[in-house]
Amino acid sequence: MKRFADKTVLITGGGSGIGEGMARQFAAEGAHVLILERDAAAGERVAAETGGRVIACDVSDHAAVHAELAAHPIDVLVNNAGIAHIGTVESTSEEDFDRIYRVNVKGVYNCLHAVLPGMVARGGGVILNLCSIAARVGLFDRFAYSMSKGAVLTMTLSVAKDYLQKGIRCNCLCPARVHTPFVDQYLAKNYPGQESEMFAKLSAAQPIGRMGSPEEIAKLAAYMCSEDASFVTGVAWDIDGGYTNIR
């Protein structure tokens, strides 16, 4: 299906993991994909394989985001870029808290602030924010990360309400654990020699018995951003292997 033919889709953090999966999915469905990525080399690799284009930029830099996006009419904005953090209130340093806020919260705001005026001027558009089950349930040792994803959820609802009459839909996805390079790096760093055992343990946390894949998230993202979902806005869609409701 070419649901995004003649559409420009901007994906932040599209150089790896879920963002890469979405870049490939949207490109396969006919989109002109723009990858806004701090890691330019990673973005270039994905762009070369999908026919997209890279915008080398840090989402936390307000002026740079505005400058880079000013020349691009965006039909679909996917706010995917984000970073993780492990810790309680006490073990989260001020520096770490501010870093999480800058990327996961301010980064979303910066892209919304840069893209929404153009969408309004052109009569509509679609926004999809990558949230997390961390915004829906209490997760052990994820204080700052959960804070940031709670903000993403409420920003989603606010934008959906404010721009409903301007032809703009805004939703978010709330995944549980997804098998990305981050998971493998985390296990190698924190559980050397126990990677397989810990991978199985993390997989079993989802009632379905495994982690999700970037491709599964990407397929739902494409649906949410397509005309097939034209009646869907202001929704936080759990894609979590049953974690939220049946664990």
Contacts of 213 (CB under 8 A, 6+ apart): 21, 178, 179
| Nearest to 106, CA basis, from 74, 137, 81, 71 | 81
Active-site residue, selected from the candidate residues 101, 109, 145, 243: 145
Known catalytic residue at 145: yes
Question: 29, 2 in Cβ contact below 8 A?
Answer: yes
Could you identify the residue written with the tokens 């999480």?
A: 100
Interatomic CA distance for residues 48 and 26, integer angstroms: 14
- Give bridge partners of residue 172 from the DSSP assignment: 129, 236
Determine contact, residues 79/34, Cβ cutoff 8 Å. Answer: no
Q: Among all residues, which ones are annotated catalytic?
A: 145
